[in-house]
Every structure is written in C-alpha cells, then in structure tokens.
Amino acid sequence: GSVIGILGGGQLGRMLSMAAARLGYRCHIYDPAPLPPAGHVAQKVVTAPWDDATALQNFAAGVDVITFEFENIPTATLDLLEPLRPIRPGRQALAVSQDRLSEKDFLRELGLPTAPYAPVATAAELDAALAKVGAPAILKTRRLGYDGKGQARLQSADDAAGALAVMQGAEAILEGFVTFSHEVSVIAARGLNGDVAAFDPGENLHRDGILRETRVPARLSPAQRSDAVLIAAKILNALDYVGVLGVELFVTAQGLVVNEIAPRVHNSGHWTQDGCAVDQFEQHIRAVTGLPLGDGGRYADVVMENLIGDDMDRLPELLKARDVALHLYGKPECRAGRKMGHVNHIQRPKG
C-alpha cells in the first residue's frame, strides 16, 4: 500500500512521516491534539479524540497500514481499528508495554533479567512489596508514566506513605533499585518476513528523569554488545513484532538488566539519522510496509543531544560547531521540560 496511517503526531510521528515521504509513501496522522508537529510533513491530519468511532473508521478507510508513535493508545481504539487495517507492530506489543507489571512479567517469562518487583495497590501491599524487593526501591505507576513522571524513590520503609501519595491512587509497581554503572539502549527492527536488524547500542545520559544525551559507541565489552542485541532479538521474536523497538538496559557488574521496552522508534535512536545509511525511522517504515530492512551499520561516532526547553537559547552557539546536524520539531511554543529538537554531533572517522 502507499498510504501509512500514524497514530500520534508528535516529533516521532513527524520524523516517521519524513522518512516515509523519502520512500514515496504518504502519511495520514491521527492525533487528538491540534497542530501536531507531524502536521508540517504529513499529507493529512485528523484531529479527533481516541474514542471517536466515526473519525477512526474514516481514518482507517484512507490508509493501507496503521502504525503508531506512542504506546498509550486506548484498548478501545485498537478494538475499532484492528478489524479494518493491519496494525504494526501488533496488539501484544502494545499490551505488554502499556503496563509495567505485564512488561516485567513478560520479560521474566523470556528468561531476561529485570529488577526485582512486586505489584502495589495499597499501603499493605507496599509493605509486603518492600519486604520482598528490599530498599532502596522505586515506586512507579503501572501505566502512562514517561520522562520519570509518576515515580517516587524510597530510601527506606519510612518513605512508604509519601511515595504512595505520589501515585495518586493509581496502581503501581515497586522495583528494587538496580546499581548500575551506566544505561544503554538497543534500537532493533523486525521485518514482515521475520528478519531482525539492530543498531549499535547507544549510551544514555538522563537528567531530572529526561533523556539528555545518547552516545555511540556505548561503553560495552564485545560480549555485552552482543548480549544487548540478543536480548532485543528475543523480545522482537517473542512478540512476532513488525517495526522498530527500543530496549532500555542497565549495565551492572552482573550483566545487563532490562529496564523497559518501547514498541516504537525511540529518542535514544535519533543518532541513527546522521550515523547510518538507513536510520530508525526509515527502518520502521520499511518494516511496516513489508520492504526489506536496511543496513543499520554505523559509519560515524555520534553524540545526540536533546534540546529541551530553554536549551533552545544555545542554538546559535551550537550551530557554529562543524559537523552538527540540527533536527527541530516545529512545536508552536517552547516550555520547560518540552523536547523541542535535538542535534547530532558527528565525529567522522579520521583519514
């Protein structure tokens, strides 16, 4: 087919639309919010709520395949769309990653290492979870958290009541605190025919719960590097996945520990735009349209730096540097904590 429907029109939807355009596809965006960043690029934008059955049916009728740029699409929306057009990646990937508890259960069933965890809905369950998991620990809402939102750290059982208050009554999961030296992520893709391709893992630096920087190459031994890719491949195959997936990992003395998965293109994969012949966005479009996957081999070292809020003031200075590629999202207003764009600092191989 030649029209791709994308649920969500943020910066990820925008960059997917740009990659799709390069491959000769047109994109239709569905987003409840007006003026989505992807609207500059896509052929059509539908602004309607997730529960608008008529708008969803019309949207589906105009596209050949549906994909998404964010994982919190309501189940009822999927129920409506699923019989109408193929959704890639599929239902299971969304179900698993929408709920941190089912995500952890899924990873454990695959035999992958995660932080120790326990479900928490009440004060009594939090006490039991602390006894099981130990302190320090992190309490996280099971659903809808991102950029470190909906999380509370507990140094000891004394912090229990305060942490529970942060959940505002939402179901939560308690995770034991993982002692890690650094964080990495693997961006990997699986094609319609089951082929798997992975990008070189990136090393991620967070500040205030938000990703600031991704560097390639990551500090990993050859064994850790192949472990990271094997973990991603195992997840992709288990989910019969089609598209690009991000896997966040902690690097510990005992090996790699899986933090979370994102069933979509991922902020920590933006370096691929300027470090690879085929970037994560093109790779995703190739996968969901049934094209062969591209070669994600890396031909430069890259530091991807997010431009968040008033980082934008540094633009003139950043642009003076050589080998800096700028990617702005065209968001109508700049706010604190809002991702406005990113730059890729490219370190070309010498010689």
Q: Which residues contribute to the annotated binding site for ATP? A: 100, 140, 145-151, 175-178, 183, 206, 259-260
Q: Which of 164, 171, 174 is nearest to 135 (CA)?
A: 174
Q: Which residues neighbour 351 within 8 Å (Cβ) at sequence distance 6 or greater?
A: none
337 binds, among ligand ATP, Mg ion, none (CB under 5 to 8 A by kind): none
Rounded to 5 degrees, φ, ψ at 28 are -115, 135
- Position 200 contacts ligand ATP (CB under 6 A): no
Taking phi first (over 0 means left), then psi (-120 to 50 degrees means alpha), and beta for anything else, what does residue 116 get? beta
> Which of 183, 200, 213, 311 is in the footprint of ligand ATP by CB under 6 A?
183
* Nearest distance from C-beta of residue 54 to ligand ATP, angstroms: 32
Annotated binding site: 100, 140, 145-151, 175-178, 183, 206, 259-260
Secondary-structure breakdown of the chain: helix, strand, coil percentages, each rounded to the nearest 5: 35, 30, 35
Q: Is 167 helix (H, G, I), strand (E, B) or coil?
A: coil
213 binds, among ligand ATP, Mg ion, none (CB under 5 to 8 A by kind): none
* Nearest distance from C-beta of residue 228 to ligand ATP, angstroms: 15
Cis peptide before 36 (omega within 30 of 0): no
> Which of 62, 113, 119, 148 is in the footprint of ligand ATP by CB under 6 A?
148
Q: How many residues bind ligand ATP (CB under 6 A)?
A: 16
β-strands 182-190, 243-252 pairing = antiparallel
> Which of 146, 161, 193, 335 is in the footprint of ligand ATP by CB under 6 A?
146
* Nearest distance from C-beta of residue 84 to ligand ATP, angstroms: 29
Q: Which of 22, 159, 9 is nearest to 69 (CA)?
A: 9
Q: How far is CA 202 from CA 9, 43, 330, 346, in A?
A: 25, 33, 26, 14
> Which of 5, 145, 191, 263 is in the footprint of ligand ATP by CB under 6 A?
145
129 binds, among ligand ATP, Mg ion, none (CB under 5 to 8 A by kind): none
> Which of 64, 105, 159, 260 is in the footprint of ligand ATP by CB under 6 A?
260
Nearer to ligand ATP, 286 or 339 (CB): 339
CA 348 to chain centre: 27
**Contacting residues toward Mg ion, per CB under 5 A:** 248, 260
**Contacting residues toward ligand ATP, per CB under 6 A:** 115, 138, 145-149, 175, 177-178, 183, 206, 209, 248, 259-260
